[in-house]
Amino acid sequence: MRFLKSVENQTFLAIILGILAGHYFPEALFRISFFGDVFLRLLKMIIAPLILASVYSSVSGLGSISRVKNLGIKTLCYYFLTTSLAVLTGLFLVNLLKPGYTPEGVFSHPQIQVKSLTFQDLVLGLIPENPVKSVAEGEVLPIIFFALAFGLATLALPLSRQKLLFDFFEALNDALITLIRWIIHLTPLGVFAIVSSIVAEKGLSPLLQLSSYVLTVIAGLSFHAILVLGGLLFFLGRLNPWKYFLEVREALLVAFSTASSSATLPISLEIAEEKAGVPKKIAGFVLPLGATINMDGTALYEAVASMFIANVYGISLGLGEQVLIFLTATLASIGAAGIPSAGLVTMTLVLQTVGLPLEGIGLILAVDRFLDMMRTAVNVWGDLIGAKIISRFT
Ligand code: ASP
């Protein structure tokens, strides 16, 4: 029974029970999804003020513009390195396993409407039209952009002025973290409700129908999470990846259940600071930024999914097109918001650039939620490992 004392173990059990309950008693569960919605709403309630407070406190707490620049460059290098490795892993596996390749060509699929995403959208999406509106509407990247700019401007003020602003935001941050600690107690119930209603609604059978595709994505994600990211943590962070996994597993379980890096952010921040020993100044900068722009799992998935769509349509892609997939999948993962199915939307950028049919997305819709859960856990794992490694070099 000692096993059940920790929230982490309770959450793990809640996921297993949620899958079983959703599969065996789908009709009995229609009311329970309400608890999942409450849990998600509580997490979402915190995201916007937390990002503002944590990014701002971390930037202004670094004490000088050159230190912010230093941390920013290291963080971006880590994001770029790991995202590229993720896409390469995806491309390698998809070429090896060739999921979806059928000599007979296309099979039937639902038609869907998709809006395409351009590079200009990505850049303009960074800058808030109005920071108050961005906070009110929870637009993560614009809030980060504003907090960063505001933090940098604060560092240019005389020290007495800086202190006033810093103390205020630091206190705001601490109060929000306390609130998160309270909300974490609800995780097992919230997670059970979310997972069981998803399984009840979607069923597990599409997973079998698209098994070669699903298995390729899972193999890629596992390889990246265990060998690539685990290896980086071991060699660069000088830490045992298994030990670190145990420390941060609550955040990964929540990421898996909610399929949202943003909704998981409050928990990742609390856990990184309290359990994994990442300094506040580092976690407060690396994690919020990572939750929206560092998505290794999404990048890998976009590469595999595009190649799968090409295979199903009988379109063979050469090296040039695969380089394009590499570039656009990286960009599309940066542009994806930390919410469920965001990767599916930004994948239009990849499909369009490479000249693949957008309707191909309809083929993979049925299993997207499940793969979204897996890739989101990898996205958050990448951020948490990044925070630890970067803290060693800063
Ligand atoms: N759901 C993912 C996340 O929040 C994004 C995606 O759809 O790939 O990290």
Residue 115 pLDDT grade (very low, low, confident, very high; cuts 50, 70, 90): low
User: Interior CA angle at 60 toward 57 and 61, to 5°?
Assistant: 70
Question: Which pLDDT tens digit goes with each residue over 159-212?
Answer: 999 999 999 999 999 999 999 999 999 999 999 999 998 888 888 877 888 889
Question: Which pLDDT tens digit goes with each residue over 68-102?
Answer: 999 999 999 999 999 999 999 999 999 999 887 76
Distance of alpha carbon 378 from alpha carbon 358, whole angstroms = 26
Distance of alpha carbon 187 from alpha carbon 181, whole angstroms = 10
Question: What CATH number should be reported for the domain holding residue 170?
Answer: 1.10.3860
Q: At what angle do helices 211-222 and 361-392 cross, to 10 degrees?
A: 10
CA of 214 to the centre of ligand 1 (A): 16
CA of 267 to the centre of ligand 1 (A): 16
Mean pLDDT, residues 128-146: 91
- What confidence score (pLDDT) does residue 276 get? 93
CA of 296 to the centre of ligand 1 (A): 10
Percent of the chain with pLDDT over 70: 94
| Enclosing domain of residue 254 | 2-392
Q: Is the pLDDT of residue 117 over 70?
A: no
Q: Which residue has the higher pLDDT, 379 or 97?
A: 379
CA of 277 to the centre of ligand 1 (A): 26
- Residues 121-150 as b/e (b if ≥16 CB within 10 A, e otherwise) read ebeeeeebeebeebbeebbbbbbbbbbbeb
CB 266 within 8 A of CB 180: yes
Distance of alpha carbon 387 from alpha carbon 375, whole angstroms = 18
Instruction: Give me the residue label for tokens 């999406």.
Output: 125
Range with lowest mean pLDDT among 238-247, 277-286, 348-357: 348-357
Query: What separation in angstroms does the CA of 118 have from each of 17, 301, 328, 332, 347?
Result: 41, 19, 10, 9, 11
- What confidence score (pLDDT) does residue 112 get? 45
Distance of alpha carbon 300 from alpha carbon 217, whole angstroms = 8
CB 361 within 8 A of CB 287: no
264 lines ligand 1 (CB under 6 A): no
- What confidence score (pLDDT) does residue 111 get? 47
Record the tokens describing residue 88, joined without a space: 């390469």
C-alpha dihedral sign at 50, 51, 56, 58: positive
- Residues 346-356 as b/e (b if ≥16 CB within 10 A, e otherwise) read bbbbbbbbbeb
Nearest-atom number in ligand 1 for the CA of 297 is: 8
Nearest-atom number in ligand 1 for the CA of 339 is: 4
Distance of alpha carbon 135 from alpha carbon 139, whole angstroms = 6
340 lines ligand 1 (CB under 6 A): yes
Mutate to test the pocket of ligand 1, among 258, 295, 306, 347 (most ligand atoms within 8 A of CB): 295
- Cα of first residue to Cα of last residue in the chain, in angstroms, is 41
294 lines ligand 1 (CB under 6 A): no
Distance of alpha carbon 75 from alpha carbon 51, whole angstroms = 17
376 lines ligand 1 (CB under 6 A): yes
Please choose, from the candidates 268, 335, 265, the residue with its C-alpha nearest in 3D space to the C-alpha of residue 299.
335
Instruction: Give me the residue label for tokens 């351009």.
Output: 118
Query: What separation in angstroms does the CA of 31 have from each of 45, 109, 184, 200, 373?
Result: 22, 31, 22, 12, 22
Q: Is the pLDDT of residue 352 over 90?
A: no
- What confidence score (pLDDT) does residue 79 get? 95
Q: Is the pLDDT of residue 114 over 70?
A: no
Record the tokens describing residue 224, joined without a space: 């990246």
Record the tokens describing residue 393, joined without a space: 């070099």
377 lines ligand 1 (CB under 6 A): no
DSSP state letters, 338-380? SSTTHHHHHHHHHHHHHT--GGGHHHHHHHHHHHHHHHHHHHH
Cα 92 versus chain centre, distance: 22
298 lines ligand 1 (CB under 6 A): yes
Statement: the pTM of the whole predicted model exceeds 0.85: yes
342 lines ligand 1 (CB under 6 A): yes
Q: How many domains does the chain have?
A: 1
